[in-house]
Structure 1
Amino acid sequence: MPIGEFDGAASLEGGGGLHLATPLYWMYELGQAALNPARAVADATRLYFKNPANPFAHTTYGKSVAAAAELFERTTRRYRQPGWDIEETTVGGEHIPVRINSVWERPFCKLLHFERVFSRPPRRPQPKLLIVAPMSGHYATLLRGTVETFLPNHDVYITEWVDARMVPLSAGRFDLDDYVDYVVSILHRLEGDCHVIAVCQPSVPVLAAIASMEAKNDPYVPHSMVLMGGPIDTRINSNAVNQLAETRGLEWFRSHVITKVPFPHPGFMRDVYPGFLQLHGFVSMNLDRHLEAHRDLFLNLVKGDGDSAQKHREFYDEYLAVMDLTAEFYLQTVDAVFIRHLLPKGELTHRGTPIDPGKITRVALMTVEGENDDISAVGQTEAAQRLCSNIPADRKTHYVQPSVGHYGVFNGSRFRAEIAPRISDFVLSNGAARAKPAERPAPKFSVVKN
């Protein structure tokens, strides 16, 4: 899962005088509207040539027409946010129903709880696990596999970020400072009795939020935090994505990738980094692979390989669903994390107050990296170990997973077999007892400025 801030921007390198301020998004919407009739015709054609009553449906010609029609419809549609599709999990060999509830909401985020409906209390401890999903272009459902992996042994919560084009201007702005406020507010909602996993981009704001809470002696800090494939210090093993940011500078990004949400979306006139532009970047980085995958889809549909075709649909239904990011969050992240490297330099602030990871003493730390990660290179996440200098050595650990890239850090077979069990062991070994809520001060929820 690429960090959306730069994949789309990288694809524009060398774009000369291209400026996206307002027109391109509007042209994109016009193109989508213009293609609607053609998509409808393609879908009708597909159904016609797949109808068993149609004699052509059983011929290579008919299957080819149906396959071509489906390919056209899929490659021109706008993909909406996928569903979670998690209805049950297995705990101790028993199938347990799962209910997904929203337990905390702000204009730009919902906190979802994957509530397991037990018929009797589980035998093993089931610590609360807060997964902070990245706000980097894709929806939180990209972490469906991550959630499914942890559900058998944990009480799982996840942040579901809202598409910026769906948030009206009246809801206010959202930047990196607001992100930190949201994390603090969520930890207060969970009363600190939890463990936090930051997947990729959230590693910086999660670390900042916990450092800010520790500096205030906040009783609701989590037991532990796990930072996975995050850009804590992008100066380490700097790659093309990091170098692009430093070379181009903030104004280049402001003029090339920021535009306004067009009518009739609820976020009309909000400044955003649009999802369709991020998608262009995602695809262009591995264009040959995506072209081959769609060619294979066509061939599989013609020869009737339904299983392979369905796997393609499931992957691309998720991969091609993207969301807009608010301009202020995107630009502040680019500037603070990738251009000026404020956190590792000790210069990052939150609402004007310096962030010092050295203040963290009560929260255990685990960092996880992928050996072949080409987004957050090896060493960039491990830098948190050095910054959090006052966490006891026996409460810190670092793990590099061999032979996986960025996506493999939080999903896939190696994640399930090798990374997730290590995280679960770390969480269980750092679940120190807390005072009951009644014995602690009443939670002071952060004021979230929107």
Structure 2
Amino acid sequence: MLYLLHEWQRTMLSPLNYWAEASARMFGDAGSALSMLPGAQRAAAGCELMYRLGKDYEKPEFNIHSVHAQGQEVAIVQQESLARPFCKLLRFKRFSDKPDVIDALKDDPVVLVVAPLSGHHATLLRDTVQTLLQNHKVYVTDWVDARMVPMDEGTFSLDDYVQYIEQFIRHIGARRLHVVSVCQPTVPVLAAVSLMAARGEDTPLSLTLMGGPIDTRESPTRVDDLATTRPLSWFRNQVIHEVPWQYPGVGRKVYPGFLQHAGFIAMNPSRHLMSHWDFYENLRRGDLDDADAHRRFYDEYNAVLDMPAEYYLDTIKVVFQEHRLPRGTWDVAGERVTPSAIGGTKLLTIEGELDDISGQGQTQAAHGLCTGIAKKDKKHITVKGAGHFGIFSGRRWREVVYPDVRKFIAKADAARAKVEKKAR
């Protein structure tokens, strides 16, 4: 019922939203006579703020069309490599018309970026992907909004998530693959590689785990406290709702994106309030660059998706309440997850000093679990002054974190090449 009420409210307010958008243009466009009226700049700023607070934010595009690689500007074409009901595996293929550049691009390491399924779309990792493309062949998981998945496609649980990762690794080919997972997927990614290793399958050359809840008993945050101070039944009764008739997934139980967004805002309400006030002031003063930066950030931040209920509740129970991965009690489809089985994969963990979502030590805990990986093949980085988003997006990611990630992947790839050369 709550979901249906939300849709009704959105529909009823849409005329006001359209009016605010049109008014912002009429009072703000230099070619409009109304822009010459006294107070027009203030009116335009207020109307645009009203419009942006009420508008729908659709899934953004990656919009990565070129990147500087191998000393040249090369074209990027986004391709769908594999499609599953709840996720699409995208490849960002690099193209050049110079034979020497093409040959060099072919030798670059292959990276699978596993994006989080935790509210925002995979495009939140646009900066991560674009930076990696300079020196790597890149794939990324693009999770589908659960409200767009018809009921006849079945359910999607945390076990399914793990199995999707396994499928993607096999599809790309583990022998030359490096996996980078950001935030939430560090847990299912580590589980997937553990299961593959225990079966004797090929595993990726390296794992890079960034700001994830491997063991949430370490430095608990407000997110962890919320998950542990309420029973699972509270989450099932309070945040799980059915998709209404307007969408292909009608009847599917989900954790709606609009509720997740409300939770994001509630974590730092004063920060968001000041950000919108600054946006209004920038528009009023004509500081268009700062105003445009605000638009770009919130176009991404406000675009959210619905999560399948089974997956969300599994994550609360398995990861946050019962800590099954670090306790060694997690079974996926009847198989025990044993990170100690991983042997031929190098491990890099990265944490932000000021991360208020995954506290310090939560990601580093993977080192204690992966006892089969030699000490020389493990590395941990704590990024000074970085919050959660800073370790995978923005200047600090590009200038501080990425050089270390690149070196780590290159070292693992060189070791693979050396072994293959000896085998010939």
Return the TM-score normalized by structure 2: 0.95
AA paired with 1:271? Answer: K
* 8 Å Cα contact 1:60-1:302 kept in structure 2: no
- Which stretch of structure 1 is more off in the superposition, 41-50 or 205-214? 41-50
Aligned to 1:57: 35
* 8 Å Cα contact 2:352-2:360 kept in structure 1: yes
> What is the CA–CA distance in structure 2 between the aligned matches of 1:315 and 1:349, rounded to whole Å?
39
Aligned to 2:67: 89
> What is the CA–CA distance in structure 2 between the aligned matches of 1:278 and 1:99, rounded to whole Å?
32
**CA shift in 2, pair 1:434/1:76, >3 Å:** farther
3-state secondary structure, aligned to 1:366: strand
> What is the CA–CA distance in structure 1 between the aligned matches of 2:354 and 2:291, rounded to whole Å?
28
1:120-158 CA deviation, whole Å, 9 max, x = no partner?
Answer: 225474100100000000000000011111111000110
Give 1:61 deviation, angstroms: 1.2
* Structure 2 counterparts to residues 301-450 of structure 1, below 5 A: 301-431=283-413, 432-433=416-417
Structure with the larger helix share: 2
Residue 133 (1) aligns with residue 111 (2): no
* 8 Å Cα contact 1:250-1:334 kept in structure 2: yes
Give 1:421 deviation, angstroms: 1.0
Aligned to 1:261: 243
Residue 106 (1) aligns with residue 84 (2): yes
> What is the CA–CA distance in structure 2 between the aligned matches of 1:53 and 1:388, rounded to whole Å?
63
Give 1:331 deviation, angstroms: 0.2
1:376-396 CA deviation, whole Å, 9 max, x = no partner?
Answer: 111111110010001111111
1:197 equivalent among 177, 180, 183: 180
Residue 180 (1) aligns with residue 162 (2): yes
Structure 1: unaligned runs, 5 residues or longer: 1-22, 440-450
* 8 Å Cα contact 1:196-1:225 kept in structure 2: yes
**CA shift in 2, pair 1:154/1:291, >3 Å:** same
> What is the CA–CA distance in structure 2 between the aligned matches of 1:93 and 1:66, rounded to whole Å?
44
2:259 equivalent among 248, 266, 277: 277
* Structure 2 counterparts to residues 92-241 of structure 1, below 5 A: 92-119=70-97, 120=99, 121-123=102-104, 125-192=107-174, 193-219=176-202, 221-241=203-223
* 8 Å Cα contact 2:110-2:138 kept in structure 1: yes
**CA shift in 2, pair 1:434/1:188, >3 Å:** farther
Give 1:251 deviation, angstroms: 0.9
> What is the CA–CA distance in structure 2 between the aligned matches of 1:303 and 1:137, rounded to whole Å?
34
1:398-443 CA deviation, whole Å, 9 max, x = no partner?
Answer: 111111111111112111112111111111111214999xx9xxxx
1:78-131 CA deviation, whole Å, 9 max, x = no partner?
Answer: 100011111100013311010000101101101111100022225474100100
- Which stretch of structure 1 is more off in the superposition, 185-194 or 237-246? 237-246
* 8 Å Cα contact 2:207-2:348 kept in structure 1: yes
1:288 equivalent among 263, 267, 270: 270
> What is the CA–CA distance in structure 2 between the aligned matches of 1:53 and 1:158, rounded to whole Å?
43
> What is the CA–CA distance in structure 1 between the aligned matches of 2:418 and 2:237, rounded to whole Å?
49
3-state secondary structure, aligned to 1:430: helix
- Which stretch of structure 1 is more off in the superposition, 383-392 or 286-295? 286-295
**CA shift in 2, pair 1:260/1:399, >3 Å:** same
Q: Report the identity percentage.
A: 43
> What is the CA–CA distance in structure 1 between the aligned matches of 2:407 and 2:38, rounded to whole Å?
54
AA paired with 1:81? Answer: K
Return the TM-score normalized by structure 1: 0.89
Give the ranges of 4+ consecutive aligned residues of structure 1 lying more than 2 Å apart after TM superposition.
50-56, 118-125, 433-436
* 8 Å Cα contact 1:273-1:327 kept in structure 2: yes
Q: Which has the higher contact order (CA 8 A, sep 6+)?
A: 1
> What is the CA–CA distance in structure 1 between the aligned matches of 2:131 and 2:38, rounded to whole Å?
41
Structure 2: unaligned runs, 5 residues or longer: none
Aligned to 2:229: 247
Give 1:276 deviation, angstroms: 0.2
**CA shift in 2, pair 1:434/1:359, >3 Å:** farther
Give 1:60 deviation, angstroms: 4.5
> What is the CA–CA distance in structure 2 between the aligned matches of 1:430 and 1:108, rounded to whole Å?
31
> What is the CA–CA distance in structure 2 between the aligned matches of 1:390 and 1:78, rounded to whole Å?
48
Aligned to 1:31: 9
Give 1:315 deviation, angstroms: 0.5
RMSD of aligned alpha carbons: 1.6
> What is the CA–CA distance in structure 2 between the aligned matches of 1:122 and 1:306, rounded to whole Å?
43
3-state secondary structure, aligned to 1:248: coil
> What is the CA–CA distance in structure 1 between the aligned matches of 2:391 and 2:131, rounded to whole Å?
13
Give 1:362 deviation, angstroms: 1.3
> What is the CA–CA distance in structure 2 between the aligned matches of 1:81 and 1:435, rounded to whole Å?
43
Aligned to 1:44: 22
1:252-310 CA deviation, whole Å, 9 max, x = no partner?
Answer: 11111101111111111100000000000111211111111111111211222111111
